[in-house]
A and B are shown apart, each in its own frame.
Chain A
């Protein structure tokens, strides 16, 4: 069942200028519950504008967005509630930390959501444990490393029990080891708690590894959506979107050049490795 449906939305920043371009121009797609979706496209293609629509931060000029079948633009629709259900973690979330201790910072949203202080702290501590950073609970967030800060910011969103987690380039500025840990964590949340995940990224090799759906944007329109291997191996779409193919796809085509056709749906690192080991 689809948890989120985006129907023909249009949005322009400069509304009073007729000749200005639409940042989103007739965008439609739907996201199923517990899907892990990557949103890709070159800089300026509308990715960040799009996610700001998904919890009603921006209001589309036309079109509709349905959350669990109900239009978020309905008069009776509870937008505040939506923002607890649909948490967005923006780029460089560490800049939005503000409390004196990590635990206080994480609990802030939960208290706003209506939990008592005790409950909120208890829950926050659980989330910190799950992320493996409960030893930091009494530290000031500002002395932490970049990766730790990001986990704290993320904990603050996750403590609100969102149905959908949305990230704007969660891995920007993280080193490969922290990045790997972060995606494994997302995958775990996605599988164990059925949390729907939508994230913006430039790193297409990780899309093959972790996502089960990709949406490609170009100048505010959806060029293609589908399974990672279907989209990322589509030469025409990728060149239209101005995106370089991930390494796994480069290898796929290099093998094809040598007359070796391998299973296109098996391009994850371990799958590709097995296939290549089997080639004589």
Chain B
């Protein structure tokens, strides 16, 4: 019941000079191997240029391996005949939802992906309602997509993926355009999809606070996986995190300092309430 299998993945990009000739290669992903199982909620973190987005694009065959393999439910991305099936199974929400919204009305935008799959209009109708409802934006069904806020757009683009019944959802920094309130709301919804509908979530983020939503955190640095652990464990490995260019989230960072000053804390507390326990 393996969902995603990445074996010795290497991705090289061409570096071009001003005339468009290849002058060298840059290694974006450097021998990555990992398995992500069905229903997992994985957060991938790393500094700018660590290979996060490249890895994500390898999973749905937008980028093909220079060597190694990416296998999604038994389908190798290298085989062109698999591409359409793979993209049906993996939905991807990009950083900027404006790049992804195609229609002028929300329901049309959500229908777009389903139309391409040849789904009947009755089923479409149901699924539009369902997917909007699961993200808490049912009332936006007939709204103009151009009038939505950043957070609303992001939810609409995710609803479009859900409506296609993708079992794997990749979110590439979905919250970089929205405030903390909207972030928490979006991630609560995503978490619910993960728990209730068993949808595999791969969240790419550099809001390090967001790791608390995940079951598992993968840290990338210079194209390599440097850490792979639970959120509670990973924040205790501060030295390795900083070697990968990652600063602890606010509360674990404070908890760690307090622990080192003799307070009764572990250093992996994530909420204000947990942090203040040491006073009791």
Question: Which residues from chain A sit less than 8 Å from chain B, CB to CB?
Answer: 42-44, 100, 140, 143, 145-147, 172-178, 180, 202-205, 242-244, 246-248, 250-251, 253-255, 258, 260, 269, 272-273, 276-277, 279
Contact: B279 with A260, CB < 8 Å? yes
Query: Which A residue sits closest to B255, measured CB to CB?
Result: A276
Q: Are A175 and B47 in contact (CB under 8 A)?
A: yes
Q: Which residues of B contact A180 (CB under 8 A)?
A: 247
Cα A202 to Cα B49 with chains together (Å): 23
Compute how far the CA of A180 lies from the CA of B47 in the bound complex, rounded to whole angstroms.
Answer: 12
The reply on B257 being an interface residue by CB < 8 A is: yes
Are A243 and B181 also in contact (CB < 8 A) when A177-B245, A250-B272, A272-B254 are?
yes
Minimum CB distance partner of B17 in chain A: A140
For residue B193, CB closer than 8 A to chain A, the reply is no
Interface positions, chain B 164-218, Cβ under 8 Å from A, are 173, 176-182, 184, 206, 208
By beta carbon, the residue of chain A nearest B250 is: A247
Residues of B within 8 Å of A100, CB to CB, are 18
In the complex, chain A residues whose CB is within 8 Å of the CB of B180: 202-204, 243-244, 246
Residues of the A chain whose Cβ atoms lie less than 8 Å from the Cβ of B245: 175, 177
Closest chain A residue, CB of each to CB of B242: A177
- Take A44-B149, A176-B246, A273-B258 as given contacts and tell me if A143 and B15 are in contact as well, using a CB distance cutoff of 8 Å: yes
Contact call B181/A242, Cβ cutoff below 8 A: yes
A-B contact count (CB 8 A): 100
User: Given A42-B179, A254-B272, A254-B275, does the pair A247, B251 have CB atoms closer than 8 Å?
Assistant: yes
Q: How far is the CA of A248 from the CA of B263 in the complex (A)?
A: 18
Evaluate contact between B206 and A43: CB separation under 8 angstroms: no
> CB < 8 Å: which of A146, A244, A246, A273 contacts B184?
A244
Please name 4 further chain A to chain B contacts, defined as beta carbons within 8 Å, in addition to the given A44-B149, A180-B247, sorted by A numbering.
A140-B18, A243-B179, A244-B180, A277-B263
* A residues near B178, Cβ cutoff 8 Å: 43, 202
- Alpha-carbon distance between A255 and B47 when the two chains are bound, in angstroms: 33
A173 / chain B contacts, CB cutoff of 8 Å = 48, 95, 173, 176
Q: Which 4 A-B pairs have the closest CB atoms?
A: A43-B149, A250-B272, A175-B47, A202-B179
Q: Which chain B residue lies CB-closest to A41?
A: B179
CB distance from A132 to the nearest CB of B (A): 16
Q: Which of B47, B176, B280 contacts A178 (CB 8 A)?
A: B47
Inter-chain contact B247/A205, CB cutoff 8 Å: no
Query: Which residues of B216-255 are within 8 A (CB) of A?
Result: 245-247, 250-251, 253-254
- Which residues from chain A contact B176 at a C-beta distance below 8 Å? 172-173
Known contacts A173-B95, A176-B246, A176-B247; A255 and B179 CB within 8 A of each other: no
Q: Which residues of A contact B149 (CB under 8 A)?
A: 42-44
Contact check, A205 vs B250: say whether CB atoms are below 8 A apart.
yes
| Complex interface: chain A residues within 8 A of B150 (CB) | 43
Residue of A nearest to B46 (CB): A175
Q: Shortest distance in angstroms between B226's beta carbon and chain A's nearest beta carbon?
A: 14
Contacts of B246 in A (CB 8 A): 175-177
Set of chain B residues within 8 Å of A177, measured between Cβ atoms: 47, 245-247
**Can you list 11 residue pairs at the A/B interface with Cβ under 8 Å?**
A42-B182, A43-B150, A43-B177, A43-B178, A43-B179, A147-B48, A177-B247, A243-B180, A247-B254, A258-B276, A273-B257
Residues of B contacting A175 with CB < 8 Å? 46-48, 206, 245-246
B80 sits at the interface (CB 8 A): no
A244 and B179 form a contact (CB under 8 A): yes
B99 at interface, CB cutoff 8 A = no
Contact partners of A178 in chain B: CB under 8 A: 47-48
> Please, which residues of chain B bring their CB within 8 A of the CB of A147?
48
What residue in chain B is nearest A149 (Cβ atoms)?
B48
Report the minimal beta-carbon distance from B152 to chain A, rounded to whole angstroms: 8
What is the chain A residue whose CB lies nearest that of B179? A202
Q: Tell me the smallest distance from the CB of B224 to a CB of chain A, in Å.
A: 16
B208 contact set on A, CB distance < 8 A: 176
Residues of chain B within 8 A (CB-CB) of A205 are: 250
